[in-house]
A and B are shown apart, each in its own frame.
Chain A
Amino acid sequence: MIDGFIALYIFMLAAFVGHEIIGRVPSILHTPLMSGSNFVHGIVLVGAMVALGRADTTMELTIGFIGVFLGAGNAVGGYVVTERMLEMFKSSKEKGS
């Protein structure tokens, strides 16, 4: 069980990590990073899968289905867009130097 203060500790440390990662980023990477973090919260997909997996009533099934659909869109779309953006950075570096 993740409970009480353990939960609070995890929350605090993870927040600190997030803050540290972005701290010293050049502004040219702001858009790709935002896109990358947008992909990372696509992990919501696994939560939606669990919710749908446990659903019984039609109502729950419908909402769960929508949740999984949206979560999959977040994860896949976030990945594709970030990857395309970062690809550009690489090729330009090679051409530039």
Chain B
Amino acid sequence: MSEFVSMRSVIEASYFIAAILFIFGLKRMSSPVTARGGIIWAGAGMVVATLVTFLYPGMGNYALMMVAIFIGGVLAWVSGKKVAMTNMPQMIALYNGMGGGAAAAIAAVELLGGEEHGLVFGTLAVLGGMIGAVSFSGSLIAFAKLQGLMKSTVRFGGQQLLNLLLLTATVGLAGIIVFQHGDINLVSVFFLLALILGVTMTLPIGGADMPVVISLYNALTGLAVAFEGFVLQNAAMIIAGTVVGAAGTLLTQLMAKAMNRSLANVLFSGFGDEVVGEASDISGSMKPIEAADVGVMMAFADKVLIVPGYGMAVAQAQHKVWELAQLLISRGVDVKFAIHPVAGRMPGHMNVLLAEAGVPYDIIYDQDEINAEFASADVALVIGANDVVNPAARTDPASPIYGMPILNADHAKNVIVIKRGQGVGFSGIENALFFLDQTRMLYGDGQEMASQLIQEVKSI
């Protein structure tokens, strides 16, 4: 027995060290200078915690365990290494969903197993399982949407009511399960309901709001992990889960704020509903332009502001755009990149993508820093961005994006929009910017157009 006790303290001490490494790792990740070291600290914590768990007293099935770790680990490793930077957000959603699913699986085993947990821990097990299951199926839907596997947003009348009913039924069943331990039918129906709830909750949410939703599910998974940690009496899970739960909640609020929307608004009001018809009293036409003219315009400009959007990243045009910017800079043009807080798919996503292309930090500006400068800019080059430069957000109360802070590209003397075709943006809203007098549309693939512009500027 004393051997068990000392083993126990080795395990507890290792979990303690892991928890410290997680916290300091996250702390380091919150500053650009130390961020790289942060993930390595946290990674070390994870390795320590995982290895020491093999020493847990009273366990078996080691072969099965190692096979599961191997398959899960290798699949995640390969997919994580292979995925393009532009697709990072949905991969985060996917891995987050897996974590939620794991928490739900722990709850399921605990609830089906012989042990009674008592009122408090029984409740925590059930709640953690429910949150984990919702996070699992919800994250998978978010993944499918961002990956483009699921194009449409499913909405129907009474959807909120259905969600409410589902939630009530799930919570009700949860209550029964706490008292009626180990009933396999009840537990199965309970998890099935929670999984369906995650799907129906996520389906009506539009693509533009997905980052906020993923962040929310991230926080929820953290909470689920913490709850299951209480049930298993595992300090590392409690601390890591709670820290992520709290940090994730705050992060979710910050993201929602950057889009000028409340969390409730994101979750319960459809984005880009049928409002479009009401708001599209846009007059004028889109005026096309040739690359040669744009080249001249930019080469002889004093100041060019580049507004990159997700479309640029999809076209893999960031390297060409940076090459173009360097060319202009060498001609004495003042070139700056203007980044909207939610450019790309998440706050900071565009900065990552530009950093990948080698654009230095000191010519990348946040919305607040750059917005006043558009008025003095000769050219605003909008490439692959749409909703974040739509002046309707400022002027049209009927627009679904009304109130969202935008980049004032429409204040520039000339606006050039590089765009694939005449379609609407991610949120499905017509963009008033494209119809302005000083706006010209350069139709084509972002990367191709950037290459053409480089040639045009070079030939001057």
Contact = CB atoms under 8 A, between A and B. Distances in A.
Interface of A: 1-2, 7, 10-11, 14-19, 21-55, 57, 59-61, 63-93, 95-97
B106 A80 contact: no
Contacts of B235: 2, 10
B243 A40 contact: yes
Given A29-B30, A85-B88, A60 B50 contact: no
B59 A43 contact: no
Max chain A CB contacts within 10 Å: which of B38, B42, B71, B348? B348
B247 interface: yes
B360 A92 contact: yes
Given A15-B242, A32-B352, A81 B72 contact: no
B346 A53 contact: no
Nearest to B258: A27
Given A18-B244, A19-B246, A30 B255 contact: yes
A63 B61 CA distance: 13
Contact of A70 (B50, B70, B105): B105
A interface: dominant SS? helix
Contact of A73 (B33, B72, B103, B104): B72
Contacts of B232: 47, 50-51
Contacts, number: 378
A33 B39 contact: no
Contacts of A81: 80, 83, 88, 91-92, 95
Task: Summarize B's interface: helix, strand, loop or mixed.
Answer: helix
Question: Ordered nearest first, which 7 A-B pairs have the shortest CB separation?
Answer: A67-B105, A53-B59, A18-B246, A80-B80, A72-B72, A96-B360, A77-B76
Contacts of A36: 25-26, 29, 38-39, 42
Contact of A14 (B49, B68, B243): B243
Contacts of B76: 72-77, 80
Interface in B36-85: 36, 38-40, 42-43, 46, 49-50, 53-54, 56, 58-62, 64-65, 67-73, 75-77, 79-81, 83, 85
Contact of A51 (B81, B105, B250): B105
A30 B248 CA distance: 10
A39 B239 CA distance: 14
B260 interface: no
26 contacts: A18-B243, A18-B245, A18-B247, A26-B32, A27-B348, A30-B347, A34-B218, A34-B248, A36-B26, A37-B218, A40-B42, A41-B96, A45-B50, A46-B49, A46-B237, A52-B64, A57-B112, A64-B105, A67-B106, A67-B109, A71-B99, A74-B95, A79-B39, A79-B46, A89-B32, A92-B359
A43 B88 contact: no
Given A46-B236, A53-B59, 20 more contacts: A18-B247, A21-B23, A27-B348, A33-B30, A34-B346, A37-B251, A40-B222, A44-B237, A49-B54, A49-B56, A49-B59, A51-B105, A53-B60, A53-B62, A54-B109, A67-B105, A85-B352, A86-B38, A92-B356, A95-B360
